[in-house]
Structure 1
Amino acid sequence: MFKLLTTGFWEAIARIILRNKIFILITVIAATVFFSMQWKHMRFTYTEANMLPDDHEVNLIYNDFLKIFGEEGNLIVLGVKDSSLFSVKQLNAWNKLAESFKPYDEVETVLSIKDLQKLVKNTNKEQFDLEPFIKDSISSIEQINTLQNDLFKKYPFYDNFLFNAETKTIRTAIYLKKDIVNTSARKDFIIKVLQPKIDAFYNDTKLNVRVSGMPYIRTFNAQNIVDEIPIFIGAALLITSLIFFLFFRSFRATFISLIVVCIGVMWTFGILGLLGYEITVLTALIPPLIIVIGIPNCIFLINKYQHEVRSHGNKVKSLQRVITKVGNATLMTNVTTASGFATFILTESTLLKEFGIVASLSILAIFILCLLIIPIIYTFLPYPKDRHLEHLNKRWIGGFVNWMERMVKHKKITIYVTAFILIIASIIGMYKIEISGSLIEDMPKDKQFFKDIRFFEDEFNGIMPLEIMVDTKRKKGVMKLATLKRINELEELIVETPELSKPISVVSLVKYSKQAYYNGNPKYYQLPTSQENSFILSYARNSSSDVDLLRNFVDSTGQYARITTFMKDIGTDKMERIQENLQNKIDKVFPKERYEVTMTGKALVFQKGTKYLVRNLIISLTLAIFLISLFMAYLFRSFRMIIVSLIPNLLPLIVTAGLMGYVGVPIKPSTILVFSIAFGISVDDTIHFLAKYRQELQANHWKIRKSVYAALRETGVSMFYTSIVLFFGFSVFTISSFGGTVALGALVSITLLFAMLSNLLLLPSLLLSLERNIANKEVLRKPAIDIIPSDDDDEMDTKNEQENLS
């Protein structure tokens, strides 16, 4: 009954498609125009990828910090390390560059050498006054010498913030307004204002300006993602169409396939716009993925059409069989592929959810487009020429199939031993895999903005912000001397940690106040004693600059203080050890009944997000295996067949994981995707093979060996074709400048190549070895769906069909 319904369903689909071809083409064109109109709603990401759920504790802590102190990633830094800077002309030009940014609406404040202020004791008014180090412009080398002496020797408050006293590196800090940091205004300012001014400055002075800071890094990183999309699409089209042409030797078939996948890419962009999703480093991969996944669909359909035409020469019957036979098979394989991507929807990460939704919808869309467009276009075209069918008789393909058959016949023990050795070696390699929580590891190493990150790491110990927020649980609790001493004790540990920069906090300001009280003597740059504290703070309270001095370190109520440090690009293990050391110190220094101290910042959020994704990897992969197992159970009605089908698909995943350990590719957001994607795609070959195997069993009266070899010969060529396309298609991602994208492409390609060999060698070997338990009528009962209908199922009166379809 199921069989008849299924066959009848696909026969009905074939009739609908072939009889209504003009209407369907118009509908496809209209849908393409509709999706094209949605492109205007596509948004490029202006924020970092947050891999944690919105209600995750780490996100909640970070958002609490932002509510109190505002956006922390609004700092852009310019740096110069050049002894020629300390000349009258060059230093004035440097200060002028900084001044030129101040009038812009996007800028909150600018701090450069010229903006630095001395905190000076005013005994008459019992307050502190601010006096600039540079009152106007620099006019003599003596002024420069005095300035260097003051900055590098007398005022440690500014050390490691706007200059490095040891290397004489100078920085300028530009704070953007917090409300534009996550908008397109940030990008416009950096691209249209900041960069041209820096270029002009270099042309005038020949001083190499280094630029960094989270807004700057995010802008150029996002721009790089956008720039690579057309490169990926173009490369994917080129390589897949080239391979397609080499297989089919037909410009016509190649051109048809390109039309289909290009429409699929247009629909993908339309889905992104329709759903209002941002283009991120993950969603940017989907358009070329659709090309890579769509071409195998075209191969199956066109290959079947040419087989049928060569067999009986009837075009109408051939196209109908393409839809009824291959349509069902491609639906099943596309559903399993989409399932691999769809498992990400069930994670609590917005980034992965959006990727899973768009990818799975796009895969189903490309299937529909292939099924509709290819048969309809061929109804308008003449019969394929003999040279277009020559590929069906290629000797080297036959040689490959014969080699597989010999291996399965005579070398089963070799195949099992090889698989066992691979598993053992891979398990050992899996223990070598590390987890990476680096914000910048995947960024393009050859880009200038990445080199500038390394520069600031060397000169100022990092650029990635790590924030510590101290809640004193009472108003004005921060300025209590006991609180200041506790913060200072924590800062001493931060200073001793080589991966962290010198911290900036209210403690530094209070130390600077004591130094000013003692007329600028640098030996008094320390916390005041209990006796000193009251009258030094009275000076600070009387100062008109008091609010301005404190506003970046203490909230308006005086209850919360922040300690800001910057972190080098370090591995997850190091970061966790640093966090553990800091937390131990916090627990020791700050009594929990009086203080609540939390660590946050973009670097920490990203690291926690990576660990969260690793846990989700296990969940999503397990879910993919479970869903596809259910699918196989529904198709074949056999638990034993589920086990047999999973073994050759899990082996490539284990091998890839082991390879990652040996080669040193860490688990990170990009490489996490490899396993679910590869599993969803590789299981397609298993479905094709087992479906054909079951059909051969029935045709050959349950003669197992004959059926296995027949299924191997029949499906081996198509599996080889599609695997080659997928291998080279995913290899396109290795041209990316993003390390994670390169790793994703290489690992998926390798996994799919192993999967092909596993399905063509290990799977048939298992079927032969377990023939008594697997291949019998009880185990292989009638499936719920016949993936590949037998020839008897769809024999029709060709003459009547031609009349109906004409």
Structure 2
Amino acid sequence: MSHKTSSLLVLTVIAILTVLSVFYASRLRFDYNFDNFFPKGDPDLAYYFSYRDKFGNDNDYLLIGLDNSGSLFDQQFLQKVDTLTRFMQRQPHVESVLSPTNVKSPIIEQFGYFEIPYLHPDEPERYTQDSLLIYQSRELVGTLFSEDATAVSLFIQTSDNLAKEPGDSLIAAMYGEIERLGLQEHHVAGKVLAQSVFIEKMKIELAIFMSASILLVILFLWIAFRSVWGVLVPLVVVLLSVLWSLGVMGVFNKPIDVMTVLLPTIMFVVGMSDVIHIMSRYITEIGQGVTKIQALRVTIKEVGMATLLTSLTTSVGFLTLLTTSIVPIREFGVYTAVGIALAFVLAFTMLPAILLLNKKPNPRRARRIDLSWPMLLRRVYTFVLRRPYPILYTTMGVVLVSLIGISMIKVDTTLLEDLGDDDPIIKDFQYFEEKFSGVRPFELHLIAGPDKSMYDLEVLQEVDQLETYLYQTYGLNFITSPATVVRAIHRAQNGGLPDYYTLPANEREMQQVQQRLTAFSKRSELRAVVTTDQQEGRLAGKMTDVGSVRAAELNDSLEAFIDQHINPELLQTRITGSAVMLDKNNDYVVSNMLQGLLIAFLVVALLVGLIFRSLRMVVISLVPNIIPLLMIGGIMGFLGINMTVSVSIIFTIAFGIAVDDTIHFLGKLKVELRKGKSLPYAIKTTIISAGKAIIITSCILVAGFLTLVLSSFDATFYVGVFVSLTLVFAVVADLLLLPVLILYFYRPNGK
């Protein structure tokens, strides 16, 4: 079979697989599932899901804040609020709406039960009396009414785990009605909105990242090869590797989420590395006047093994993300690793086939393109030979400063850590924290002691102690619990007077309350805080988003208070909730990152050990790649960037990609040493031969990752910045520090 026939056969198979990839990639959808960011495998997660099954989800809601600037007690404003309330009550997937205009004070008298509205929107003459009653009711202030009496809030309970399509319809209907009513200053928060906004952002950013990456890669390819042929061939190969990767995701029905939205961009720039090394070596050989077949044989022989090893190390870098407990990050690691493997396959099948079928590049032009690189790289080697000690001393100084910066890093997260401070969603969250109770949910599971009920007076008194501590010391601004239900009924039985918003004073009064509780047992308000057997209860609240570190401190203090003041024979408790589960990721951040890096180090050490069979070379190869990681860690510390789950993955990704240059350098060095060259001369030849491809691929990788700084997600922004910095530091270390370490510490003869 001729080379032409073989090439056509390869391209035919690739074309068929590409058509299949297009079909499966077209089925991809965007998704943002909040629950996926809980730490899978954590014992507290199973407990939380069990708790949620009993009492409902603590984040299936929408908050609408409406501000009237001067005073909320304005008839026109309140009528609009009431209209919006009624409109939202009629919407599909809305379970209930709690609003200033529909909240009522229950009154229980001898002749029956009735409810009196706290607010009468259509009767402005009663506003003064309404305001007095409202601001004497602790449960209303900071929840439905702002403390400064300028704003109101609507609490909308949505269906459990509302999907994006119905969620988008609900959001669109809500905004349409708000605009129709002319409610100028409005603020919205909640999972349904965040889900909708995040997915729209992902769609826009995917298009931006890919467009910017393609333009930058075209620019660098043109600078490197100065021909349309040198731009189009690598571009087609890499674009197909991206398409195949998306096709694999489609086969396994994996949606594009906040992590995998990075995959096409990363695949595009990382996949280009193999292609550049092949193209660069191929053009160099063509410049020597050999045939296409001879040029390809030399290229595959000298670049093939190093490229295989770099693809392996990069894949391992992403596969180490399996050590994390966050499902989206784990899946991102797996699919990116698969994509890198596909890129390698295409680089060594499709690219050679295209090169064989294409016209041979002009040898003179190839020599001219390659002419300036040896001069530049000889100067680099001369600098290494003349200044080895300044290079080593500078390296030690950089490491020392970096370690100081690393010691300043804090592990801390907030609920919406991925969004920048200027994002509209963050602005709305800040509004609710300033004007109302906040947005961070608090959940405490209450369990009645042996032979006790949640509605026993002595149990409720223990809950009352807890509430006092949570209000005064912990920082909750709103609480609902079995005790708040009993207080509301006790007040209702005493004419609705605010002074009676207390627990019953004795067992006789409590028995009267319990009679009403039995009558109201099927009401949703009761089912949301106490189970039907009355053995378990829910204490839920809202607070400002203090961050995971401060929350952990508060929880420790709360547990200490419970141990000292709450009688376990009467009441047992356990802190849970979605916020706690997200905070628990902090427990795994450092350990998962170190596990991932350790695995990556071991794989690289094994590969280098197999190539050189030298422990010294293993250590030498790791040093230029560990130092860039220390440097970005130091920069994070000095800049005050917190270590979060999303930020921690930067280190393993950066190491897996940055080590590629070292592998290419050492692979070429091994080839030169086998030719019998002395170590200094082999290093010189390696720098001149491999240096061009190392610099070009590093520039393309840096440019590609820098496109991620256009993201509005902080985690994506930091991946772009710090992976780019790592690659810059790594290429400098590989061309300056690595030759010095090899010259001074490596012994080719094994001595």
Shorter-chain TM-score category? over 0.9
Report the CA distance between 1:331 and its aligned residue: 1.4
Larger mean CA deviation between 680-689 and 284-293 belongs to 680-689
Q: Which residue of 1 aligns with 2:103?
A: 116
Structure 2 vs 1, CA of residues 571 and 544 (structure 1 numbering), >3 Å: closer, same or farther? closer
Q: TM-score, normalised by structure 1?
A: 0.88
Say which of 722, 733, 745 aligns to 1:747.
722
CA contact (8 A) 1:112 1:162 kept: yes
Matched, 1:722 2:697: yes
Superposed CA offset, 1:520-573 (max 9, x none): 222222222124532441452365577343122112221111111223222332
In the TM superposition, 1:470-485 aligns within 5 A as: 470-473=446-449, 477-485=453-461
Q: Which amino acid aligns with 1:629?
A: A
In the TM superposition, 1:50-199 aligns within 5 A as: 50-51=36-37, 53-82=39-68, 83=70, 85-125=72-112, 128-133=113-118, 138-153=121-136, 155-178=137-160, 181=161, 183-184=162-163, 187-199=164-176
Structure 2 vs 1, CA of residues 464 and 297 (structure 1 numbering), >3 Å: closer, same or farther? same
In the TM superposition, 1:405-420 aligns within 5 A as: 405-420=381-396
Structure 2 vs 1, CA of residues 527 and 394 (structure 1 numbering), >3 Å: closer, same or farther? farther
Distance 2:368 2:636 in 1: 37
State the SS of the aligned residue for 1:216: helix
Report the CA distance between 1:748 and its aligned residue: 0.7
Q: Which residue of 2 aligns with 1:525?
A: 501
Q: Which residue of 2 aligns with 1:465?
A: 441
Superposed CA offset, 1:748-794 (max 9, x none): 111111111111111110111125xx221x47xxxxxxxxxxxxxxx
Say which of 316, 319, 322 aligns to 2:299.
322
Q: Which amino acid aligns with 2:666?
A: L
CA contact (8 A) 1:437 1:611 kept: no
Matched, 1:20 2:13: no
Report the CA distance between 1:257 and its aligned residue: 1.8
Distance 2:324 2:80 in 1: 52
Structure 2 vs 1, CA of residues 327 and 532 (structure 1 numbering), >3 Å: closer, same or farther? same
CA contact (8 A) 2:278 2:299 kept: yes
Structure 2 vs 1, CA of residues 383 and 542 (structure 1 numbering), >3 Å: closer, same or farther? closer
Report the CA distance between 1:463 and its aligned residue: 0.9
| Consecutive unaligned residues in structure 2, runs of 5 or more | none
Distance 2:39 2:433 in 1: 30
Q: Which residue of 2 aligns with 1:783?
A: none
CA contact (8 A) 2:72 2:151 kept: no
Distance 1:399 1:504 in 2: 75
In the TM superposition, 1:42-57 aligns within 5 A as: 42-48=28-34, 50-51=36-37, 53-57=39-43
Q: Which residue of 1 aligns with 2:380?
A: 404
CA contact (8 A) 1:475 1:557 kept: no
Superposed CA offset, 1:622-667 (max 9, x none): 1111122112222222222111111111111111111111111211
CA contact (8 A) 2:41 2:325 kept: no
Structure 2 vs 1, CA of residues 389 and 592 (structure 1 numbering), >3 Å: closer, same or farther? farther
Larger mean CA deviation between 62-71 and 155-164 belongs to 155-164
Report the CA distance between 1:131 and its aligned residue: 3.2
Structure 2 vs 1, CA of residues 122 and 594 (structure 1 numbering), >3 Å: closer, same or farther? closer
CA contact (8 A) 2:107 2:494 kept: no
Q: Which amino acid aligns with 1:466?
A: F
Q: Which amino acid aligns with 1:332?
A: L
Report the CA distance between 1:448 and its aligned residue: 2.0
Report the CA distance between 1:345 and its aligned residue: 2.7
Distance 1:444 1:663 in 2: 16
Matched, 1:269 2:238: no
In the TM superposition, 1:750-769 aligns within 5 A as: 750-769=725-744
Report the CA distance between 1:673 and its aligned residue: 1.1
In the TM superposition, 1:274-673 aligns within 5 A as: 274-385=251-362, 389=366, 392-393=369-370, 395=372, 397-398=373-374, 400-473=376-449, 477-497=453-473, 499-531=475-507, 533-538=509-514, 540-541=516-517, 543-544=519-520, 547-592=523-568, 594-673=570-649
Report the CA distance between 1:403 and its aligned residue: 3.5
Q: Which residue of 2 aligns with 1:675?
A: 651
CA contact (8 A) 1:157 1:512 kept: no
Superposed CA offset, 1:250-299 (max 9, x none): 22221222212221121121122222323222211111000010112221
Q: TM-score, normalised by structure 2?
A: 0.95
Distance 2:563 2:18 in 1: 60
Distance 1:705 1:605 in 2: 56
State the SS of the aligned residue for 1:193: helix
Superposed CA offset, 1:134-158 (max 9, x none): 67xx4342144443333223x3232
Q: Which residue of 1 aligns with 2:214?
A: 237
Q: Which residue of 2 aligns with 1:710?
A: 685
State the SS of the aligned residue for 1:79: strand
CA contact (8 A) 1:107 1:177 kept: yes
Report the CA distance between 1:203 and its aligned residue: 4.5
Q: Which amino acid aligns with 1:286?
A: L
CA contact (8 A) 1:469 1:562 kept: yes
Structure 2 vs 1, CA of residues 283 and 17 (structure 1 numbering), >3 Å: closer, same or farther? farther
CA contact (8 A) 2:477 2:543 kept: yes
State the SS of the aligned residue for 1:558: coil
Structure 2 vs 1, CA of residues 317 and 452 (structure 1 numbering), >3 Å: closer, same or farther? same
Report the CA distance between 1:215 and its aligned residue: 2.6
Distance 2:227 2:35 in 1: 43
Report the CA distance between 1:41 and its aligned residue: 4.7
Larger mean CA deviation between 140-149 and 434-443 belongs to 140-149
Structure 2 vs 1, CA of residues 613 and 411 (structure 1 numbering), >3 Å: closer, same or farther? same
Q: Which amino acid aligns with 2:24?
A: Q
Structure 2 vs 1, CA of residues 604 and 542 (structure 1 numbering), >3 Å: closer, same or farther? closer
Superposed CA offset, 1:176-198 (max 9, x none): 122xx2x52xx233422333432
Distance 1:420 1:65 in 2: 53
Structure 2 vs 1, CA of residues 635 and 649 (structure 1 numbering), >3 Å: closer, same or farther? same
Larger mean CA deviation between 578-587 and 189-198 belongs to 189-198
Structure 2 vs 1, CA of residues 16 and 88 (structure 1 numbering), >3 Å: closer, same or farther? farther
RMSD of aligned Cα (Å): 2.4
Q: Which amino acid aligns with 1:425?
A: V
Distance 1:765 1:465 in 2: 56
Distance 1:102 1:324 in 2: 71
Matched, 1:775 2:748: yes
Superposed CA offset, 1:192-250 (max 9, x none): 23334324423432432211122322332233223311211111112122112122112
Distance 1:287 1:386 in 2: 35
The number of residues matched between the two structures is 750
Report the CA distance between 1:422 and its aligned residue: 0.8
Say which of 694, 708, 712 aligns to 1:733.
708
Structure 2 vs 1, CA of residues 704 and 165 (structure 1 numbering), >3 Å: closer, same or farther? closer
Structure 2 vs 1, CA of residues 474 and 174 (structure 1 numbering), >3 Å: closer, same or farther? farther
Larger mean CA deviation between 520-529 and 341-350 belongs to 341-350
CA contact (8 A) 1:474 1:559 kept: no
Report the CA distance between 1:341 and its aligned residue: 0.8
Say which of 198, 201, 225 aligns to 1:221.
198
